[in-house]
């Protein structure tokens, strides 16, 4: 049986740049598996079904909630987002480290369900930069923009239950920090009880 | 006031190769400060007073114990080893990350005195390799050799109170793991409360 994989939760306020960081991380660490979320929001230009998200309608999403098919789900503004539970559990069981790139509501649910997941909070360099990034998306009305800013401030308070904080002020440096966090977590003693068992078989009595 | 440094404890059984790893780590990460231990054992060829150890006699060492001048100290075989408390505390206060390369008896005391230090256990690739390494030192009688082996097995049990385990089967890979652990620990949320304070001043209300 392979060693169980780690669940790595990459989260932070909307506009902190966690999507970009996540993509760079996956490019540098192809052994990581990205969990693809289900959403009811319409695809943005360039987004591909099954790669960026599984796009579905509200009726079907609510059916999946009732059936307990989500590891976490959240309603953000007028849309649902959720992580299909079975996919993640199968990957972990196969020894794969799985990345969840999710919002803070979702991360809170994962914290309750999977306390030994690794929680990484992506911080924007500053609030002005956060505003600029949200503006640059170009898909926001003024109302939804203000809602996002207020929500981002609220969400930053959640940092206290995360394990790590990474400031996204330099993409390359931030990705290196994420890589280091993953390598370090793989060295955690409590994740290596199999290693210690192996040592015992080799003749060390522990 | 600079951010307080981290105390990083590199430990493991005698012969696991922690000294070599520590030297390589310090070469790659010159921002780290090595804590120089005080010892009553005679210098080995090439060892320099004030660099490898502060060499002293038994009488003076026991005086220092009584004065509480050690962060940890241990008697190993017929010699004393100890970490001067003031040096470490000054470095940490100045924002320096300090490496302690100490044996397991010493690490246990640091665990009691400094619970938020980072504890890294260096594992030998296997027990045969451990024996070979101790033999290669060439400074052991058969009696002291057997004592070291028995002690090493005993010490391996201590792994349970360490944070990280690094197997020293490939020097370069092991050093990279140590670097990753240090980078990751610097990202720990609870070590970055100053960062969060800074964000507050910049206008984010957390």
User: For A181-200, how does the pLDDT look when each residue is reduced to its tens digit (9 = 90+)?
Assistant: 999 999 999 888 766 655 55
pLDDT confidence bin for A164, thresholds 50/70/90: very high
Q: Is the pLDDT of residue A23 over 50?
A: yes
CATH number, domain of B21, equals: 3.40.50.300
pLDDT tens digits for B159-204?
888 999 999 999 999 999 999 999 999 999 988 876 666 555 555 5
Residue A24's H or E segment, with its range, is helix A18-28
DSSP 8-state class, residue A113: H
Query: With bands split at pLDDT 50, 70 and 90, how would you rate the model's confidence at B135?
Result: low
**Within-domain flag for A66:** no
pLDDT confidence bin for B206, thresholds 50/70/90: very low
- Does the residue A180 lie in any domain? yes
Shortest CB distance from B183 goes to which of A177, A187, A204?
A177
In a domain, B45, yes or no: no
Contacts with A157 from chain B: Cβ below 8 Å: 206
3-state SS class at A196: helix
| A166/B187 Cβ within 8 A | yes
B105, B97, B155, B56: which is closest to A205 by C-alpha?
B155
- Is A41 inside a domain boundary? no
Given a cut of 50, whether residue A206 has pLDDT beyond it is no
- Round to whole Å and give the CA distance between A25 and B168: 26
Binding residue per annotation — B68? no
Q: Any alpha helices (H) in A119-170, and if so which ranges?
A: 127-137, 142-156
Which strands, in side-by-side order, build the sheet including A37-39? A53-55, A37-39, A79-84, A70-76
Q: In what order do the strands lie in the sheet with B98-101?
A: B33-34, B98-101, B7-11, B118-123, B164-167
| Interface ipTM > 0.90 | no
Q: How far apart are CA A39 and CA A49, in angstroms?
A: 10
With CB atoms and an 8 Å threshold, state whether A162 touches B127.
no
What distance lies between CA A202 and its chain's CA centroid?
38
Could you tell me if residue A188 is inside a domain? yes
Q: Does A163 touch chain B (CB under 8 A)?
A: yes
> Considering the domain boundaries, does residue B47 fall inside one?
no
Find chain B residues with C-beta within 8 A of A121's C-beta.
189
Residue of A183, A188, A204 lying closest to B127 (CB–CB): A204
CA B103 centroid distance within chain = 7
A182's CB contacts (< 8 A; 6+ apart) are A6, A8, A29, A32, A97, A118
Q: How many domains does chain A have?
A: 1
Specify the pTM. 0.82
Tell me, yes or no, if A160 comes closer than 8 A to chain B by beta carbon.
Answer: yes
Contacts of A187 in chain B (CB under 8 A): 120, 164-166, 177, 180-181
Flag whether pLDDT at B42 surpasses 80: yes
Residues of chain A with Cβ-Cβ distance to B162 below 8 Å are 189
Give residue B18's domain range.
7-35+96-201
- Cβ(B109)–Cβ(B11) below 8 Å: no
Distance CA B181, CA B191 (A): 14
Q: Which residues of chain A make contact with B181, given a CB cutoff of 8 A?
A: 180, 183-184, 187
Q: Is A166 an interface residue toward B (CB < 8 Å)? A: yes
Is residue B124 situated within a structural domain? yes
- Assess if residue B43 is contained within a domain: no
> Is B184 annotated in some ligand binding site?
no
């Amino acid at each position: 049986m392979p060693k169980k994989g780690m669940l790595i939760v990459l989260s932070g306020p909307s506009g902190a740049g966690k999507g970009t960081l996540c993509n760079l991380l996956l490019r540098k660490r192809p052994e990581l598996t990205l969990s693809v979320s289900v959403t009811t929001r319409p695809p943005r230009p360039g987004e591909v079904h099954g790669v960026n998200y599984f796009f579905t309608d509200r009726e079907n999403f609510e059916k999946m909630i009732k059936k307990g098919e989500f590891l976490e789900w959240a309603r953000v503004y007028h849309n649902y987002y959720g992580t299909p539970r079975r996919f993640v559990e199968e990957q972990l069981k196969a020894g794969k480290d799985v990345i969840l790139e999710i919002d803070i509501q979702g991360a809170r649910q994962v914290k309750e369900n999977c306390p030994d997941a690794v929680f990484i909070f992506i911080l924007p360099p500053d609030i002005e930069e956060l505003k600029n990034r949200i503006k640059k998306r170009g898909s926001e009305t003024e109302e939804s923009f203000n809602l996002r800013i207020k929500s981002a401030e609220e969400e930053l308070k959640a940092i206290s239950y995360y394990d790590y904080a990474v400031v996204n002020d330099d993409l390359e440096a931030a990705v290196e920090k994420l890589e280091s966090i993953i390598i370090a977590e793989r060295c955690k003693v409590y994740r290596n009880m199999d290693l210690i068992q192996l040592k015992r078989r080799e003749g060390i009595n522990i």
